[in-house]
Amino acid sequence: MRKETVVVTGASRGIGKAVALKLNNEGYNVIPFGRDSANLEILNATLKINNVDTRFYVGNVEDELFVRNSIKEIEDRYGRVDHLINNAGIAIFEQFVNSTLTQFKKQIDTNLYGVYNFTKAVVNGMIERNYGSIINISSLAGKNGFVGGTMYSSTKHALMGFTKSLMLELRQYNIRVSAVCPGSVATDLIINSKMKPNNIEKILQPEDVADVIWQMLQLPARACVSEIEIRPTNPK
């Protein structure tokens, strides 16, 4: 039986790494993308235990040519991309009066242009096959504002609009488009930021989000989870 191929962006660490490991353990052919070559090499060595033919790609998600050429290479090698997990994202938490346009553009490049580039690269193949899943990792910040989140939250709100519209456009081709909106997750993005909570052990772990994504992929093709929120049960 052919293994389904999954592309995971932002897989060097955090949620992306957890998703790559979970789906690999569940029998998927996982192709991780990221910017940290050392971390990706370590991850890929683990992935090869279950799939000796896996490989990884190092580059920037906002680089359209890199993304397009990489996806073409994957499709030539494995035949198709069945599922895309758009996880790559960055956050710069700063109140608006202290923010800079450079900070804002940096987040837009990764959080929005990166999603656009990967989605654009895989969507025609999915349409031709009348099958596929695109899961965008958004955030509760894509539905709510917070102090220090003017830049980050606005990119995630935009991602939600992109995802909701794309879902309506692609469902006619049996392509499922979903947004996953976690609350605080114990990743470097939070731990190394101004928003680090005091009770880090009570917030979500990357593996929690990975489990949800795997469950979404197990649904029958007729069912699409268009949006899902994941919160810590009791973060206090």
Paired strand residues for 82: none
* R_g over Cα of the chain: 17
Q: How far, in Å, CA of 46 to CA of 42, rounded? A: 7
Question: Does residue 78 have an active-site annotation?
Answer: no
Residue tagged active-site, from 113, 116, 152, 173: 152
Residue 161, class by beta-carbon neighbours within 10 Å (0-12 exposed, 13-18 middle, 19+ buried)? exposed
Instruction: Please state the three-class secondary structure of 22-67 as a single string.
Output: HHHHCCCEEEEEECCHHHHHHHHHHHHHHCCCCCCEECCCCCHHHH
Q: Which positions are catalytic?
A: 152
